[in-house]
Amino acid sequence: VPGTLNDVEHVLVDVGTGYYVEKNVGDSKKFFKRKIDFLTKQIEKVQPALQEKHSMKQAVIEVM
């Protein structure tokens, strides 16, 4: 469905748990950049534990 924006300088940003914040476009880009960086760091923290659990699962499967 085609649409138009009345205000192209401000957007609504979903900050989680059903909350939205009105920000200008520049601040929105900075917010999402920080969010991507945070999630990337969290993935890097969890990945070694996930690999270890996967190898343990494989060992259990082989024993069974």
Structure tokens at 7: 């205000």
Would you state the pLDDT for residue 7? 87
Would you state the pLDDT for residue 6? 86
31: number of Cβ within 10 Å:
14
3-state helix, strand, coil in the chain (%, to 5): 60, 20, 20
On whether the pTM is more than 0.75, the answer is no
* Percent of all residues in the chain with a pLDDT value above 70, rounded to a whole number: 100
pLDDT average, residue stretch 9-31: 94
The SS3 assignment for 24 reads: strand
pLDDT greater at residue 30 or residue 5: 30
The SS3 assignment for 5 reads: coil
Tell me how far apart the alpha carbons of residues 38 and 45 are, in angstroms, rounded to a whole number. Answer: 11
